[in-house]
Structure 1
Amino acid sequence: MNYTRKRALLACDFCRHRKRRCDGKQPCSTCREASADCVYKELPTDRIEPSSSSQGAVVERLSRIEALLEEQGQKLSEMSLTAYYGSTPASLHSFRSSPLIPAASPASVSNRSQEGDDTSLENTQFLIPRGHTTTLIWLLSLPAVRSVIGDFPENYFHELEENSPLPRPLDLVQPMPLDWPSLEPGLLRKLSNAYFENVSPHLPLFTRQYYEALLEDFMANGPTEDIESAICLCVCALGCISSHSTEASGHLTDCAEDLGLRLFQPALRVILSKTVWGFGSSIQICQALVLAGTYFSYMGRPLHSWKMVYYAGHKFLQLVNDRSSPDQPDQYDESYLRAFWCCFIAECDRVAELDVVRSGIEPLSDKVPLPRNVEASDHDDLIYFVAETAIRRLINRIHSSLYSPDNVDIMVLAESAPAPNNPGLNNILTISSELNRQLEQHYNSIPVQPHIMVDPGSNDRRRILNFRYHHARHLIYRLFVLYIVLQPQQQPSPIPLASSSRSPTPQQGLYPLPRIILEKCHVCIQSGEALLHAAADILDKRSPYLWSVFDVSASCLIVLFLASRSPYLRHLTPDIDALASLVVPKMRKWATPGSSLESELRIVDMLLASRYR
């Protein structure tokens, strides 16, 4: 893959026009040699630049956004203190998520008056940026990785998934009459119960009471080509696949696999028909699309999952536009709130992993309130869901603040010396420290006992929150590891067969690095190790996070591989073989032939094998 050099952090007009490397001096060496006028344009205010007012403004915005996490923490606390599940306190009914930019504190206003108004930052949201650099395929483009495994096109995993055929019952290109499954009421009940036990905790799309009304009508009148029947069939299909969650596709019992597909096939046809040829929208269509996307997630099919959620986002936006007062979020009832946030989390996960097209619902997260608890049956599930919503939004801010090509170009930054006064590094240090503080504050506010970090594996929802915590922390500090491993004066060296001793200092004879940089690298590596331990637990069985956890694990193993090749970081790196023996067998279980999962696993195997060549 050819790497396209991006602009330097600071360049004069002459160098920018001729696409030359600018050293940032006055005049720069290029202008001096060409006897040209060396003129620097005023930097745009929405860039994170060293020694500019925008750095302080971005940090200030991160601080002010913290109020959102505080309000969500208060919401969670109120929910946990609800003594009577049968009714919802008025404070919960009146809850609204705060705007993304709450009112500034007096101190921040004072600082802002010194810096001047920055309306572009004020109006900019922390969304996952297009072309961000946290994807697995971006890591594969790094020279140290390419030298081992070769070049991969930017759309490699996308094309693998696009060209991988669906199971025949789900290949709906050829028209055929709907084949309704014959189901006994007892089986419908059993599969519905499995859905609410295994799937709904991750996806509280609707309450049990809401679904029961649909199911009663479905059993009384039989299936029809309407969206309500499709919802019931999707719920039962998800109940089926989640009941056999420890078995990989191709290893499911014929009966279980056939039943799940027979349930999902007619539902998918109805959903696609209503989506493509239905020119209106309804909350039921959004719900059905989210359910279909979740089924594909359980199958480990990220593109098909994204497509369903993408359609759901479009349908939700259509609902918003059709409302008489779209800017009045308090008019949304519970079904709208749950559908929006389920769609939001699913789409953000796919955008972060595959950098796919957005539906446009992400900015609505500032206006749409969080779900409210209305039933005892899903009270705890909703607490975990609101907590996951908050951490997903914080991870979006990590992407926006640290991995946007417009803010930080780590390839360019790595060309600079790792000196204590390096302005680019100081920028990243400032932003990452603030993001980490927000992360810790959020997790400390989750009102579940015991604390998530004390007992992360007691149920599936705690495992997911634990995984997302370590993933966020790993991303916050990953740039420091990449900065070190991309240093031009550093050459990869063979890895000793003995496991790392994790001594506190690197080997002798190296250019000294600022201690704080090594400390941040250590935090990233430790978080990566904890992430893989958490991933191993989640990958024990099928879940809607299957592809996401697999992909993040592969990326994390690559970062640890790069760290183990660096003479600066090798002493901080854990025993990668031991970590691989823990998580790779779990990954191999789901790497079905021809899938992107199989390709990612093959890449990981190649990197691990190269350590001893």
Structure 2
Amino acid sequence: MYKSKAVEDTVTVGTHALYAPDGVPSTAWLLSHPKIRALLGSCPDDYISQVEVAAPLPSKLDLSLASPLKFPPLEPSFVDILVADYFSSVHPYYPLLGRSVFLTHQRDVLRDGLQSTIESAICLCVYALAAIAASQPGVPLDGQFDHMGSIFMSPALKIMMSLSTFALQPSVESSQAWTLAAVWFTYLGRPLQSWKCISQAAANLQHLFHCDLRACFDLPPSCLRELEKDVPLPTYNDDEAAEAPFLVAEVHFRQLINNTNTQCEDHRDVIGPPQLIPGAFPEDEIPPGEPPEELHDGLLRRASQLLCELDDWFEQLPREIKPSSERIEATSDQAKVLRARYYAAKIAIQRPLLLYASEQAFTDIPVSLVEVCEACVEDCKLLLLSMSQVSRKRSPYLWSLSQTALDVVLLLCVTYSSPHLSFLVEELLDLQELVIANLTRWSTPGSAFEAAIGIIERARMKQGLLRSRDS
């Protein structure tokens, strides 16, 4: 296998870094649920997607290849501040390249000036990320720091688009640059543009490690899975080694959540978890002559097995990064995100049971089903508290966690509307207002954050949960 010097000496872009920093949640699937439709009326399944497609890019972001390439001036003292901000505020979330490697790129750039090279693009991406991450908590997403970051990101993207189109030799550095750009778009709350950048990074690596005609002209549907066996894992120096496990664990949780949500969409008409497929588990095969088990018993058994597998994996996490399950402030930003993803994974497994229970006209709901619904609701509450901690300041997770919070609020609304489960969410109004307050920090006209607030407000009006503003 071809292995460049960059692969050996830098924090390489492994497959875990190529999963988009801000994933696509399951809101579309929930919006199609009958009880959600009853709450929201004629809300299209792809409403959030439509909002994202229609939202314009930042006004200061110039991506026209026809316009001349304009480089911002680089004052060494100002650059030092940006680099410090990047490695303190952004790098811990996504340790994509080592400090020593970056400083080598920057030394060449400061000596020779910014040019149409991938090294210049990497430096510009780092400066753009530092500028936007350093903004004050609660500054709107269309604030001055977004424009400041655009000054650096505009020429960086032009360089990257040109090289991706015309360069004949792919490089790991190109994938690093595209991934850094993807992270920058997540700070803007722009998941679709982030995914486009990740797609470019993945295609570049596909060509790097499988450089043949089939790879160039007939890419497999998911080149990420094809790369898992070839792309080396990142390497870190001693100072950076502690940051890697957070990223790997967080991406593992997101893969689990995404796989569960995707299968839910594929089998939305089937009541039960996505794994409820004949032959998915050995015990699914019912011996001849034995009556089939009750549906809720089968759902409970499968959910229990999946939760046990999740908890077994959770227990294997290094003690230094394992998030606490108690309602206490996490010690680091990464721990806050990891805890939110852990609860989201548990909810993804238990959610089909909660929806199933909410749809049944039980005269005597089984105690075992009540217990798992109660556990799912408790996980929902803990996720919303964790999300509240993360959303206090700008991060790469603003969009995905805000949409996950919307999912959870809708799930709690369904629970509240069920007579035999409503007692589990007596504080629904307070939870809704917590999420609205978090979303309001980042809501701008036409944004998905504004759309999410509108959806929650609509559900509250339908359920009569609007608290008097004078009280």
Give the TM-score normalised by the residue count of structure 2: 0.82
User: Per the alignment, do residues 179 and 249 of structure 1 end up closer, same or farther by CA in structure 2, a change over 3 Å counting?
Assistant: farther
In structure 1, the gaps of 5 or more residues are 1-95, 98-126, 128-132, 327-357, 414-419, 491-509
User: Per the alignment, do residues 306 and 530 of structure 1 end up closer, same or farther by CA in structure 2, a change over 3 Å counting?
Assistant: same
Partner residue, 1:452: 323
2:357 maps to 1:484: yes
Structure 2 Cα separation of the partners of residues 146 and 603 of structure 1: 11
Among residues 270, 285, 300, which one is paired with 1:409 in the alignment? 270
User: Per the alignment, do residues 589 and 374 of structure 1 end up closer, same or farther by CA in structure 2, a change over 3 Å counting?
Assistant: closer
1:142-187 deviation per Cα after TM superposition (whole angstroms, max 9, x unaligned): 2222223222333322222122111222242472111110120111
2:260 maps to 1:389: no
Structure 2 Cα separation of the partners of residues 469 and 190 of structure 1: 34
Structure 2 Cα separation of the partners of residues 434 and 276 of structure 1: 48
Among residues 363, 375, 397, which one is paired with 1:545 in the alignment? 397
After superposition, residues 135-534 of structure 1 pair within 5 angstroms as 135-173=26-64, 175-249=66-140, 252=143, 254=144, 256-322=145-211, 360-364=222-226, 366-368=228-230, 371=233, 373-399=235-261, 403=264, 405-406=266-267, 409-410=270-271, 422=293, 424-449=295-320, 451-453=322-324, 457-487=330-360, 490=361, 510-534=362-386
Deviation at 1:396, TM superposition (A): 4.4
Partner residue, 2:446: 594
1:481-532 deviation per Cα after TM superposition (whole angstroms, max 9, x unaligned): 1112233xx4xxxxxxxxxxxxxxxxxxx51122222222111111111000
1:548-579 deviation per Cα after TM superposition (whole angstroms, max 9, x unaligned): 00100000000001101101211122401121
Q: Which has the larger radius of gyration?
A: 1
Partner residue, 1:569: 421
Instruction: Decide which moves more: 227-236 or 165-174.
Output: 165-174
Instruction: Decide which moves more: 441-450 or 580-589.
Output: 441-450
Letter in 1 for 2:189: G
Structure 1 Cα separation of the partners of residues 225 and 322 of structure 2: 31
| Contact preservation (8 Å) 1:245, 1:543 | no
1:220-241 deviation per Cα after TM superposition (whole angstroms, max 9, x unaligned): 1110011110110000110111
Deviation at 1:599, TM superposition (A): 0.9
1:82-129 deviation per Cα after TM superposition (whole angstroms, max 9, x unaligned): xxxxxxxxxxxxxx99xxxxxxxxxxxxxxxxxxxxxxxxxxxxx9xx
| Contact preservation (8 Å) 1:310, 1:359 | no
Q: How many aligned residue pairs are there? A: 424
**Secondary structure, aligned partner of 1:148:** helix
User: Per the alignment, do residues 462 and 425 of structure 1 end up closer, same or farther by CA in structure 2, a change over 3 Å counting?
Assistant: same
User: Per the alignment, do residues 412 and 184 of structure 1 end up closer, same or farther by CA in structure 2, a change over 3 Å counting?
Assistant: closer
Letter in 2 for 1:197: S
Deviation at 1:449, TM superposition (A): 4.0
Deviation at 1:539, TM superposition (A): 0.6
Structure 1 Cα separation of the partners of residues 152 and 140 of structure 2: 16
Structure 2 Cα separation of the partners of residues 437 and 191 of structure 1: 44
Structure 1 Cα separation of the partners of residues 221 and 367 of structure 2: 43
**Secondary structure, aligned partner of 1:147:** helix
Partner residue, 1:495: none
| Contact preservation (8 Å) 1:550, 1:597 | yes
User: Per the alignment, do residues 317 and 463 of structure 1 end up closer, same or farther by CA in structure 2, a change over 3 Å counting?
Assistant: same
Structure 1 Cα separation of the partners of residues 351 and 165 of structure 2: 41
Letter in 2 for 1:469: Y
Structure 2 Cα separation of the partners of residues 238 and 586 of structure 1: 22
| Contact preservation (8 Å) 1:181, 1:262 | yes
Structure 2 Cα separation of the partners of residues 370 and 468 of structure 1: 25
Structure 2 Cα separation of the partners of residues 359 and 214 of structure 1: 34
Deviation at 1:424, TM superposition (A): 4.2
Partner residue, 1:344: none
**Secondary structure, aligned partner of 1:188:** helix
Deviation at 1:314, TM superposition (A): 1.4
Deviation at 1:368, TM superposition (A): 4.9
| Contact preservation (8 Å) 2:58, 2:142 | no
After superposition, residues 16-31 of structure 1 pair within 5 angstroms as none
In structure 2, the gaps of 5 or more residues are 1-13, 275-290, 466-471
| Contact preservation (8 Å) 1:311, 1:359 | no
Structure 2 Cα separation of the partners of residues 154 and 280 of structure 1: 42
Structure 2 Cα separation of the partners of residues 266 and 228 of structure 1: 12
User: Per the alignment, do residues 451 and 292 of structure 1 end up closer, same or farther by CA in structure 2, a change over 3 Å counting?
Assistant: closer
After superposition, residues 4-153 of structure 1 pair within 5 angstroms as 135-153=26-44
Deviation at 1:189, TM superposition (A): 1.6
Structure 2 Cα separation of the partners of residues 370 and 515 of structure 1: 49
**Secondary structure, aligned partner of 1:479:** helix
User: Per the alignment, do residues 539 and 412 of structure 1 end up closer, same or farther by CA in structure 2, a change over 3 Å counting?
Assistant: closer
Structure 1 Cα separation of the partners of residues 106 and 448 of structure 2: 36
User: Per the alignment, do residues 192 and 359 of structure 1 end up closer, same or farther by CA in structure 2, a change over 3 Å counting?
Assistant: farther
Letter in 2 for 1:405: D
Structure 2 Cα separation of the partners of residues 173 and 153 of structure 1: 33
Stretches of 4+ aligned residues off by more than 6 angstroms: none
| Contact preservation (8 Å) 1:241, 1:298 | yes
User: Per the alignment, do residues 570 and 406 of structure 1 end up closer, same or farther by CA in structure 2, a change over 3 Å counting?
Assistant: closer
**Secondary structure, aligned partner of 2:311:** helix
Deviation at 1:441, TM superposition (A): 1.7
| Contact preservation (8 Å) 1:271, 1:288 | yes
1:553-610 deviation per Cα after TM superposition (whole angstroms, max 9, x unaligned): 0000000011011012111224011212323211111121111221121101111222
Letter in 2 for 1:305: S
Structure 1 Cα separation of the partners of residues 424 and 292 of structure 2: 24
Deviation at 1:373, TM superposition (A): 4.6
User: Per the alignment, do residues 370 and 479 of structure 1 end up closer, same or farther by CA in structure 2, a change over 3 Å counting?
Assistant: farther
RMSD: 3.1
